[in-house]
Amino acid sequence: MNVSTQLDFTKIAELGNDILSGLNDIREAQPITWSDSANGWLVTRHEDVMDGFLAKVPLSCVRMQARSFGPAELEMFAKRYPLMVGTLPFWIINADPPLHTRLRRLMTKAFSRKVVEDLRPMARNVIASVLDSIEGREEVDFLEEVARAITGRVILNKFGLPESVLPKLRSWSVSFNIGLGGVVAPSPEVMDGVETSLREMQEVFLPAIAARRAAPTGDFLSQLVLAHEGEDRLSEAELLGICYLVIVAGHDTTMNTMSLGIAALARDAEARHQMLDTPDRILDSVIEVMRYVAMSTAFNRIAAQDFEWHGQQIKQGDIVWLMTAAANRDPRVFTNPETMDMSRENNDRMTVFGGGIHHCIGHLLAKMQLCEFFPEFFKRFPNATVLDEKLEFIPSLSFRGLTGLRLRLG
């Protein structure tokens, strides 16, 4: 039996952390294999995943084909979901060069090391404020009351948007993850939810963009509005596409890493003490947490042409899943990969942020927040314990997250 059939990706939420051991089995049985439940090819070994990221095989990020989103006719799709069709092609993760090159070039300054470092004092204040708010509590819903409260406020501050938008972030994230992050063609009702979220975002961003055009303030949105090379500027559709992606991915992925990281560290005293006892290595520790908890599970691509890969005949239009969670536990690259080892030095090998030209443009912002958060949390709550016997996951393959996380603060 093909070992890939042992993992039913249509039940990704029920699999939970069992997906990690399942991917290990697939990786060791066959480097590239077809999965009916994922409707695509699974690429599981580190070297091959990196070859996919580095364009050593002909893969495309242009995923606006009807088969990727469910409806049979793109014209019908466009009529029902005009905002989705109008902006998804301009999400940088859905673009190939030369469009990708142009968008990334115009976005880069807004995510530079200097910009992120300038945000660090604000992030520290947000973290302190949120943790102050739970002091003295016996139990807390960590996901919403802590993780989203922190990462949501940070991303809103970066955009220059008011905190009144914060309550909307949860519904936007849920609709995107369920509608765009799974392997099953979502129902029209689910896609309606994505379209509704995009409409709500549009209502937030269009006035904000107009205001920045009239009077730039120096925030991220102003930087996007003003970004140019010669006469080349971002169109309104491009601006909105960037804003939609960054507002959700910019807080949700970091929030999920924060939650999965707390769940893992609360149950692993040795790793926790390693992190706290070596503050000069906090970035290495955070990168190891990210590798281990596998928030980033897979990046999907579309085969740009027919080609052969490890004896498998890949056809143009096939979906190819670059399984970062499997690559990050490949024993060919990581010693004792099932152990969270804070002495590990793996920044140049860890694939959570992708690789090549699509390496996550916001990785510095995510790392900064996590490096500030974990030591401060465990300094205040060294005896925090997870109350959930079984972690419950959202139904998303690309980026894993929890539906909630109950902590006893101790």
DSSP for 85-145, written as a single string = HHHGGGSGGG--TTHHHHHHHHHGGGG-HHHHHHHHHHHHHHHHHHHHHHTT-SEEEIIII
The pLDDT score that the predictor gives to residue 403 is 94
pTM, to two decimals: 0.93
Angle, alpha carbons 191-197-202 (nearest 5°): 130
What is the distance between the alpha carbons of residues 281 and 117, in angstroms, rounded to a whole number? 18
The residues facing 35 across adjacent strands are 40
Give the pLDDT score at 19.
95
pLDDT for residue 110: 82
Instruction: Report the DSSP pairing between strands 59-60 and 299-303.
Output: antiparallel
Signed CA dihedral, 121, 270, 144, 407: sign only: negative
Whether the CB-CB separation of 67 and 40 falls below 8 Å is answered with no
Whole-angstrom CA distances from 303 to 46, 48, 317, 320 are 19, 14, 5, 7
User: Which of the 8 DSSP states describes residue 5?
Assistant: G
Rounded CA separation 386/408 (Å): 6
* Total domains present in the chain: 1
Which domain covers residue 388, as residue numbers?
3-408
Q: Assess contact for 58 and 42: CB atoms under 8 A.
A: no
| Count of other CB atoms within 10 angstroms of residue 348 | 6
Q: What is the CATH number of the domain that holds 126?
A: 1.10.630.10
**Rg of the chain (C-alpha set):** 21
pLDDT < 70 regions, the chain: 1-5, 64-74, 184-185, 347
